[in-house]
């Protein structure tokens, strides 16, 4: 009904200018509330970004599966049968799946934790040693810092080559010594180093990754006598396929291949990144909601402050409102004026809080980008949608804040208003 034309704006500015201290004090609460919302939501987002960056070494559509023992008798087999996968099962799975892009067999030397199993010259260390295929990098991205990763030729020719993590290099090699072309001895077998990598991400998982060694899957089977045996599968779910659906379908495929009862809950273990992300997502949206809730409470306190100030202001300006009435102002115009003033004050305050909050976030972001360290805290930010939501909440509250003073103003009869002091 009322556009904010220049006159109304002038009227509004006059209200603020007339009593700047009061305007400032009443604005403070709302400004603070909004500032708090921006900061807490932004901080929650920063934490979220930090945690997600730590998950960066994992691919969002990755899935892992491994075999255990059966818990339901099936097709003449007793329960408790130990299950194993071999390379033929992998090929079969690859050929029959409709949900997966990539199936990587993997196998690891077990039982060596704490025992020095890898030697180079006088140095030795205890590292995870895995057999993998060339495509493994897609399931677990890493930064190759020198040399290369395993390739198909390594696998086909069953070469005794290895790719080592950066920590392995640090421990086994002298500072400045180039490990490429050097040999390391793994459980008595010599392997030539063809590449060095650093893991992506910086969580505990990534630390472990840096202390790993990869050798061709085929070579692993020969050298350590595991032949075609597969420890577990690293897989990639096709784009657009639901993770849960892919997980269930893949489990069923493996069960049918290994003659396991379809309802056996224990036989096949499976883990998808998407579910992990979902859990994290739930946590973070919870955090966002809580910060929004508490911020809104702070905002509400601020808005109540504004209502209070407006009520005092109405009382003081009774005479002025009476004069306006005598000059032809209808009740609706008075109502609009009071609500308009409240809105203006609230929004002015809100805007200050918003600008300060976003400014602070940007400053922190700039500091972090510039190399400042804040643990798992990265790129705090607030998206436009949240700002819009907050502004809508503010709008609602501001109208709410204006209604009581407006009603109070209208309850005064013109003649009484004119008789008032002031």
Partner 1 sequence: MLALRGIEKAYPLAGGTLPVLKGIDLNIEQGEMVAIMGSSGSGKSTLLNVLGLLDGFDSGGYDLDGVDMSGLSEKQAARYRSLFLGFVFQSFNLISFKTAVENVALPLFYQKVPRRERQKRAMEMLGKMGMDDRADHLPSELSGGQKQRVAIARALITEPRVILADEPTGALDSSTSQDVVSVLREVNGSGITVIIVTHEADIAAKCDRTIRLHDGVIIEDGRSGDVVEPTANGAGSTD
Give the residues lining the site for partner 1 (CB under 8 A).
5-7, 14, 17-18, 319-320, 323-333, 413-415, 418-419
Backbone angles phi, psi at 260, to 5 degrees: -110, 140
Helix, strand, coil distribution of the chain in percent, nearest 5? 55, 20, 25
- Smaller CB distance to partner 1: residue 255 or 317? 317
**Smallest distance, partner 1 to C-beta of residue 308, A:** 22
State how far the Cα of 278 lies from the Cα of 396, in Å rounded to an integer. Answer: 32
Q: Could you tell me the smallest distance in angstroms from the CB atom of residue 30 to partner 1?
A: 23
44-55 core/surface letters (b: 16 or more CB in 10 A; e: else):
bbbbbbbbbbbb
Report the residue number, 141 or 414, with the smaller CB distance to partner 1.
414
Report the residue number, 255 or 325, with the smaller CB distance to partner 1: 325
Q: How far is the CB of 5 from partner 1 (least distance, A)?
A: 8
Strand segments (E) across 247-288? 268-272
Indicate the DSSP class of residue 195. E
Closest CA to 63 of 6, 116, 139: 139
Name the residue nearer to partner 1 (CB basis): 187 or 326. Answer: 326
First and final C-alpha spacing in the chain = 31
Beta strand extents in 87-160 (DSSP E only): 100-108, 118-120, 123-125, 128-132, 142-147
> How far is it, in rounded angstroms, from Cα 374 to Cα 256?
49
Tokens of 296: 């809104």
* Cα 65 off chain centre by: 24
Nearer Cβ to partner 1, position 7 or 204?
A: 7
Minimum CB separation from partner 1 for residue 41, in Å? Answer: 39
- Tell me the C-alpha distance between 136 and 78, whole Å: 35
Minimum CB separation of residue 6 from partner 1 in Å reads 7
Compute the least distance from the CB of residue 316 to partner 1, in Å. 11
Q: Whose Cβ is closer to partner 1: residue 157's or residue 332's?
A: 332
- The minimum distance between CB 327 and partner 1, in angstroms, equals 4
Nearer to partner 1, 383 or 416 (CB): 416
């Amino acid at each position: 009904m009322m556009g904010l034309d220049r006159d109304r704006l002038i009227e509004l500015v006059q209200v603020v200018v007339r009593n700047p201290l009061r305007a400032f004090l009443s604005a403070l609460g709302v400004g603070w509330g909004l500032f708090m919302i921006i900061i807490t939501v932004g901080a929650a987002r920063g934490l979220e970004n930090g945690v997600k960056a730590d998950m960066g070494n994992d691919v969002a559509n990755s899935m892992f599966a491994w075999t255990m023992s059966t818990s339901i008798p099936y097709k003449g087999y007793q329960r408790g049968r130990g299950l194993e996968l071999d390379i033929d099962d992998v090929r079969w799975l690859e050929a029959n799946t409709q949900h997966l892009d990539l199936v990587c067999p993997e196998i690891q030397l077990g039982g060596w934790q704490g025992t020095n199993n890898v030697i180079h010259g006088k140095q030795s260390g205890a590292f995870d040693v895995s057999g993998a295929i060339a495509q493994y990098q897609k399931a677990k991205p890493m930064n190759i810092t020198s040399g290369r990763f395993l390739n198909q030729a390594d696998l086909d020719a069953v070469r005794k080559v290895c790719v080592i993590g950066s920590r392995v290099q640090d421990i086994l090699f002298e500072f400045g010594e180039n490990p490429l072309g050097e040999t390391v001895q793994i459980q008595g077998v010599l392997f030539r180093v063809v590449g060095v990598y650093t893991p992506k991400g910086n969580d505990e998982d990534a630390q472990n990754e840096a202390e790993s060694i990869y050798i061709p899957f085929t070579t692993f089977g020969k050298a350590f006598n595991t032949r075609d045996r597969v420890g577990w599968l690293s897989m990639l779910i096709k784009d657009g396929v639901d993770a849960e659906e892919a997980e269930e379908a893949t489990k069923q495929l493996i069960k049918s291949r290994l003659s396991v009862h379809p309802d056996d809950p224990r036989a096949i273990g499976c883990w998808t990144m998407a579910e992990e992300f979902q859990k994290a997502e739930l946590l973070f949206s919870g955090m966002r909601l809580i910060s929004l809730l508490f911020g809104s409470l702070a905002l509400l306190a601020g808005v109540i402050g504004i209502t209070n100030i407006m009520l005092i202001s109405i009382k003081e300006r009774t005479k002025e409102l009476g004069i306006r009435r005598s000059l032809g102002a209808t009740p609706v115009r008075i109502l609009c004026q009071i609500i308009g003033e409240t809105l203006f004050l609230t929004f002015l305050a809100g805007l200050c809080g918003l600008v300060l909050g976003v400014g602070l976030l940007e400053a922190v972001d700039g500091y972090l980008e510039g190399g400042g360290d804040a643990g798992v805290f990265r790129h705090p930010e607030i998206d436009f949608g949240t700002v819009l939501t907050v502004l809508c909440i503010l709008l609602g509250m501001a109208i709410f804040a204006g209604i009581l003073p407006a009603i109070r103003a209208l309850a005064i009869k013109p003649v009484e208003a004119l008789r008032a002091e002031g």
